[in-house]
Chain A
């Protein structure tokens, strides 16, 4: 990848991200985050949530893969931050995803001296943002 070919506003990728209850169970196991709100419907409703919701860290972690694949080396990601603004309820259904997120990655800023790019991730559920200011700093070689 040539830094000079990059431009602010450039689209680097987009994808649909399907989430099922099984995905949340897998993420709970892999991450060690067993908070009941991510797998127990009864408990989630008791604490006034719309139902079982995805781990914010699942959404954050899955969304950044577009950037990893684009830059070609996971270690090129220097920093990554976001705010979580809306929960992502994941319905308990058979034969269809429990939620579908749309992820779009664009170049938000370029620093030629440091040879870094800021990639902005747009992550939406039914047109509403679930991550805000999701920004990834990458080193471009």
Chain B
């Protein structure tokens, strides 16, 4: 049976085999291909998803984003990243 994932900030999330991230030339945006679904990512989501490779913890991802987007408070970034990844994890499109 598949386990229900609750993401924590020290988890190192990644995409399962059935979810594939790629840049789509035709639409000029990053997308995730999944069974009978296509997630079109905005700029921030694309940044995050490109870092989800199983080698970086959520904390490390948040740090990188905080460096890049200096105006945003780190707590807010952290909250947003976890909410986004958890919503994908609930659908089985992010694992750890």
A binds B: no
Which A residues fall within an 8 A CB radius of B?
none
Query: Which residues in B have some Cβ–Cβ distance to A below 8 Å?
Result: none
